[in-house]
């Protein structure tokens, strides 16, 4: 496999979208293979454009992760600061 195909397959696995939309995931893999194997720059550009659109759709379908991210970390820190401020104000 080529570099684009490997990267797309890794992202599909990370997104956990194959059970949700197996056809779209397979289409992304097929388009990635086309990008890797295209000899003509125009063919490569067309396949890349379509791959980008399919991956956009797959990212929308990705289930929400339960683990925290940077936004969750910031919200947690904010809640702690507010609780500390309330505690300090009350006593």
How many independent structural domains does the chain possess? 1
pLDDT of residue 87: 86
Whether residue 60 has pLDDT greater than 80: yes
> How large is the average pLDDT for residues 44-72?
88
Evaluate whether residue 73 is within a structural domain: no
> How large is the average pLDDT for residues 27-42?
97
* Nearest CA-CA partner of 11 in 43, 24, 44: 24
On whether the CB atoms of residues 59 and 28 are closer than 8 A, the answer is no
Evaluate whether residue 80 is within a structural domain: no
Full residue range of the structural domain in which residue 29 is found: 3-65
Can you give the pTM of this predicted structure? 0.69
pLDDT of residue 7: 97
Cα separation values, 24 from 1, 5, 42, 45, 78, Å: 19, 14, 23, 19, 39
* Nearest CA-CA partner of 3 in 59, 51, 56: 51
> How large is the average pLDDT for residues 13-26?
94
**What integer best gives the mean pLDDT of the chain?**
91
Question: Which positions ≥6 away from 73 have C-beta within 8 Å?
Answer: none
């Amino acid at each position: 496999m080529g570099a684009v195909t490997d990267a797309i397959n890794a992202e599909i696995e990370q997104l956990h979208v194959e059970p949700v939309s197996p056809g779209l995931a397979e289409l992304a893999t097929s388009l990635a293979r086309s990008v890797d194997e295209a000899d003509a720059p125009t063919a490569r550009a067309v396949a890349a454009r379509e791959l980008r659109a399919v991956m956009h759709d797959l990212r929308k379908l990705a289930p929400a992760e339960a683990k925290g991210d940077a936004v969750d970390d910031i919200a947690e820190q904010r809640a702690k600061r507010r609780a500390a401020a309330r505690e300090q104000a009350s006593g």
